[in-house]
Amino acid sequence: GGEDYELLFTARPEWEGLLAGLVRRLRVPVTRIGSVRPAREGIRLLTPEGRYRPLPPAAFEHFRKSGR
């Protein structure tokens, strides 16, 4: 009945070695899912074909009624 959660975080590229050691010591799985880029580049998704596709800005409206 429980839900699964994962923690999303960012780390500086120069911390990669330190983070790898911490991951090994704590035996916590970590998966790289992207990188933080300059804002002028916008948000992009990398497709399975290896191409970047722009992702338009969007937001979730918590109090909006569904169907409107």
What is the per-residue DSSP string for 9-60? ----GGGHHHHHHHHHHHT-----------GGG--EEE-TTS-EEE------
Residue 1 has pLDDT above 80, yes or no: no
Kindly state the tokens that stand for 2.
Answer: 């429980």
Indicate if the pLDDT at residue 2 is higher than 80: no
**Cα torsion through 55, 32, 29, 21, rounded to 10:** -150
- How does pLDDT run across 3-51, given as a tens digit for each residue? 788 888 999 999 999 999 999 999 988 888 888 888 888 888 889 999 9
Cα–Cα distances (Å) from 44 to 13, 27, 37, in that order, read 19, 31, 10
Percentage of the chain modeled with pLDDT above 90: 35
